[in-house]
Structure 1
Amino acid sequence: MTASGQFTIALAQCTVRSGAVADNRERARTMIARAAARGADLVALPELFTAGYFAFDEYERASEPLDGETAAMVAEAAAAHDVAVLAGTIVEDLSATESAPTPAEEGLANTAMLFDAAGERRLVYRKHHLFGYESAESEVLVAGDAVDVADIGPFTIGVTTCYDLRFPELYRTLVETGATLVLVPSAWPYPRIEHWQTLSRARAIENQLFLAAVNGSGSFPDATLLGRSTVYDPWGTPVASIGDEAGLVVADVDPSQVSRVREEFPALADRRQ
């Protein structure tokens, strides 16, 4: 973070290819290094950036525990570049993870991990809402039920994943837990551009926080990711964005804007339970 209090968020809109876990992981490593070189304090990777969301047949082969190869790579890169990193999501093998905080003791989960700039894991989030519309996700994965936040620099950070954007009550829970920035790793496909942009903006506006929605780039046999990773401020204004090509979104934000907006327009204080 700069001396002026500015915090830099980088969204790594990686190309994700089916059946190419090692290559996808290496692209993510490169993007972390590029983000750090541009002064990022935090870099976020997209949903299932190693396996590819739509490669359902690859989930079992690509699965790994929380302390697997992907976690090791991200922790090492975070510490080496002095940058916090959201390891988008991975396919987690729950049976290989000790004390997995989930109702099921085995199976596969869509799991995000947040590491601080020392490479220490600070947060684990397992996707709550599994997509059922023309998708096998709800058939092959186990849903999570825990909501947590972690302090990284000046922000209290929460995580939700892709389809979770359609369920505003989850974001209210994060606000009540103290979240001032929510990271949303995603694999959002064409043609639902308006949904992606409108829901992301709405979650920022109604909860008066920063929301950073990071999508992937690339095509699968039945879908093409629409990209458009974007950082929104607490007014819902896009701070920085990109098209559908692979690349970095870098946004310099003022963390104090959250408290200023909540004081200037105290909608959250007017809530009736």
Structure 2
Amino acid sequence: MRIALSQLTTGPDPAKNLALIEDWTRRAADAGARVVVFPEASMACFGTPLAPLAEPLDGPWADGVRAIAAETGTVVVAGMFTPADEGRVTNTLLATGPAVETSYDKIHLYDAFGYRESESVAAGDRVVTVEVEGVRLGLATCYDVRFPELFRAHADAGATATLLAASWGAGPGKLDQWELLLRARALDATLWVAAVDQADPGTAPGTAPTGIGHSRVVGPDGTIRAALSEAPDLLVTDLDTEEVTQTRRRVSVLSNRRKDLWT
């Protein structure tokens, strides 16, 4: 399956960001991508007041993404914010396109490195996979990458790849951690990990996670197969689903688990 990772920088204006999604989706479709993955916070960057701009999944911003997906014949995965209780929002991945319509709410919230996502964001509680042309894909968001159980749950659900959308926080050692975690999660679940981050905005890092770039595609054996630097760019790559089958025959970590020893 050919996918595209659209490593862009979004700002605080959802309408302008939607125009970026349209432009990058067209470029990805022209390159033959069937799935186009955008970063977390594609609707509006972190550091923006989120509650006033959050919209439901049947609102105009999500409908705009649906129209782009329908016009280009691609499945688009993009991060947005939907309303939640107590004045908070939900950090949501919308996946929409031909024969696909679902969403994933970020399970693990980024209460780390001096930032508290839980103060403004409500956590999800559901593992989500989506099937595109016979290939099952798991959905994950940023801080989720630190929790191997989610990626194994994707594999248990039949996924051969996890699509990870991120707006990774900058700071000392964070790039090394990003790459290490992506490779580890691919090995944990013996699946492809296709991770797209917000491009580095080029400003002094604060506590809000605004991205460092360095999107990666990691094979089921944990090796990096394709990579970007920090600037806005489009990465188009093919995921070989048969390689997942072959890797799981050689490295049977999923079938060798001792589930009887823990829950």
Q: TM-score, normalised by structure 2?
A: 0.90
- SS class of match (1:225): coil
Does 1:9 find its partner at 2:3? Answer: yes
Q: Which residue of 1 aligns with 2:252?
A: 266
Displacement of 1:105 in angstroms is 9.0
Q: Which residue of 2 aligns with 1:112?
A: 93
Partner in structure 2 of residue 204 of structure 1: 186
What CA distance in whole angstroms lies between the structure 2 residues aligned with 1:177 and 1:171? 10
Specify the code of the residue in structure 2 equivalent to 1:126. D
The equivalent residue for 2:81 is: 91
Deviation at 1:219, TM superposition (A): 4.7
Q: Is the 8 A contact 2:81 2:89 kept in 1?
A: yes
Q: What does residue 80 of structure 1 align with? A: 71
Q: Which amino acid aligns with 1:174?
A: H
Matches of 1:116 and 1:180, distance apart in 2 = 19
CA drift of 1:61 comes to: 2.1
Q: C-alpha distance in 2, partners of 1:162/1:70? A: 22
- With 181-190 and 263-272 compared, the bigger mean Cα shift is at 263-272
Residue of 122, 125, 129 corresponding to 2:104: 125
**Does the 8 A contact of 1:219 with 1:225 survive in 2?**
no
Is 1:64–2:55 an aligned residue pair? yes
2:213 aligned with 1:227: yes
Amino acid of the structure 2 residue aligned with 1:241: A
> Do the aligned residues in 1 keep the contact of 2:14 with 2:61 (CA within 8 Å)?
no
Task: Write the distance in 2 (CA, Å) between the matches of 1:14 and 1:42.
Answer: 16
CA displacement at 1:264 relative to structure 2 = 2.5
Report the TM-score, using the length of structure 1 for normalisation.
0.87
Query: Secondary structure, in 3 states, of the residue corresponding to 1:113?
Result: strand
Q: Is the 8 A contact 2:51 2:88 kept in 1?
A: no
The within-5 A match list for 1:143-162 is 143-162=123-142
Secondary structure of the corresponding residue to residue 64 of structure 1? coil
Equivalent AA in structure 1 for residue 229 of structure 2: G
The code of the aligned residue for 2:27 comes to R
Q: 1:255 to 1:154 in 2, by over 3 A?
A: farther
Q: Secondary structure at the match of 1:256?
A: helix
1:148, distance to aligned residue in structure 2 (A): 2.1
- Number of residue pairs matched? 252
The 5 Å alignment of 1:15-26 reads 15-17=9-11, 19-26=12-19
* CA RMSD across the alignment: 1.8
Alpha-carbon offset, residue 112 of structure 1: 0.6
Residue 37 of structure 1, aligned match among 27, 30, 46 = 30
The answer for unaligned runs of 5 or more in structure 1 is 1-6, 95-103
The answer to whether structure 1 residue 245 and structure 2 residue 245 are counterparts is no
By how many angstroms is 1:253 displaced?
Answer: 2.2
Q: Partners in 1 of 2:20 and 2:80 — Cα distance?
A: 15
Q: What is the SS of the residue equivalent to 1:138?
A: helix
Are 2:154 and 1:174 equivalent residues in the alignment?
yes
Deviation at 1:220, TM superposition (A): 5.8
SS in 2 for 1:269: coil
How far 1:125 sits from its partner (Å)? Answer: 0.8
Unmatched tracts of structure 2, length 5 or more: none
Aligned mates of 1:49, 1:152 — CA distance in 2:
22
TM-aligned CA deviation for residue 216 of structure 1: 0.6
Which has the larger displacement, 24-33 or 104-113?
A: 104-113
Contact residue 47 and residue 53 of structure 1 kept, 8 A: no
Shift of 1:243: 0.5
Query: Is the aligned partner of 1:163 residue 2:118?
Result: no
The answer to whether the 8 Å contact 2:18/2:65 transfers is no
Deviation sequence 1:2-54 (CA, Å, 0-9, x none)? xxxxx21100011112x222111211111111100111011101001121023
Q: Could you tell me which of 104, 107, 119 is aligned with 1:139?
A: 119
Q: Distance in 1 between matches of 2:238 and 2:136?
A: 17
